Structure 1
Amino acid sequence: MIDLSPDAWIAIGLSFKVAAVSTLVLLPVATALALMLARADFPGKALVDGLIHLPLVLPPVVTGYALLLLFGRKGLIGAFLDHYFGIVFAFRWTGAVLAAAVMALPIVVRAIRLSIEAVDRKLEEAAGTLGAGPVATFFLVTLPLATPGILVGATLGFAKSLGEFGATITFVSNIPGETRTIASAIYTASQSPDGDLEALTLSGIAVAMGLGALVLSEVIARRSRRAL
């Protein structure tokens, strides 16, 4: 049995919860954005692509601060959501989900976009000649063929969400039982004089979870290539 404090186990459970919800929320959005970038031509496409991938090149703290300005209780969007719908993201576990989703978005969009671009356009055109509209063609042709890429993107997004730290701690702080994920727990333990062992144990768990997700994504990718 791994010797960890109750707060550490709660942080591990919260990390899985945040990563799972983040991935579920992120997938439809990422798929729609990937389809738009892969199939549509419109003015400002390069700018949209750059904005989607911006979290990859910005310091995570900057992304977290931007989320705080937008979705904080007094933010441009957060104040509206709080006043009219009672929805609060800042300093809540739902805010950790939002931060994780934003940070994972570029990775997921990239994986799905490459998968959609690999779909033979002639198959989509053939579906159109048989009477299928754009929506039916997407669900009957494009989506099934792009499913391996979507699964890989989901796996990588889940792994990224598990390890997210900078944007999360800036946006929702490090509240035990509410926003303290495994990454925040490692940081907290490392700052404690007697927390080295717990920090090391949690780091090992984080490495195992991240490596497991990466191996799973590679297995999915290989099996999908064999099936094609």
Structure 2
Amino acid sequence: MLRRWGLATLALPLLVACKGEPKVLEPRSPPPRSPPPVALPAQPTPAGMGRVVLHGTDGPLRVSARADVAFVPPGMSVPPTRTGELCVTPCVVDLPHGHYRLFMSSADGTYEQSDTDDMVVRDGVNYHVRAPGKFVPPTWIPVLPTVMMVAATAAVLGGASLMSGDDDSQKTTGGVLIGVGLAVGIGGGLLYYDASRGARQDGATTQWNVPAQ
């Protein structure tokens, strides 16, 4: 009997060991529409290009760009070819008109999650302010669920030991201990599973364009 209950209790950690998909949190709120703290160059923007002002809300971002080569902007015979690293925010760059995919990562190591976003470059000044998406890594050994599962295992094993005797009162106490232990174990297992999933939060962007004068 004791061995059977022990095996059943030890199965609880195995049931919660499989980690599911990350929790999806509500997307971040779009940043306020206010010019980033960076000065615009005095020289005019070259023909066929737009001035782009990039900024991130959570510290400096290292930004790379890849042009959408399937898109040929009006007035151009070939798609834009600008690719590679652009700058570290807040910054200003001039890019050919067109559609771009931006790849962003923390420049100072504040967080590890990389982020992507799309941008369209037009005539004038194109502002792109990003609240980057984030991933909260799972807690590999969450304290509270671990304590609950250890306590549950002890309760179930203790209850099984009491039930193996001949005293009816001890059997009753043992049954109660097993019931409580299983309930606590299930609760701890659910908490452990939740903590082991991690969480993903999509970013948000505020973009606006100031036409060329």
Q: Same fold (TM over 0.5)?
A: no
The structure with the greater share of residues assigned to strand is 2
Larger radius of gyration: 2
The structure with the greater share of residues assigned to helix is 1
When the two structures are superposed, what TM-score results if normalisation uses the length of structure 2? 0.29
When the two structures are superposed, what TM-score results if normalisation uses the length of structure 1? 0.28
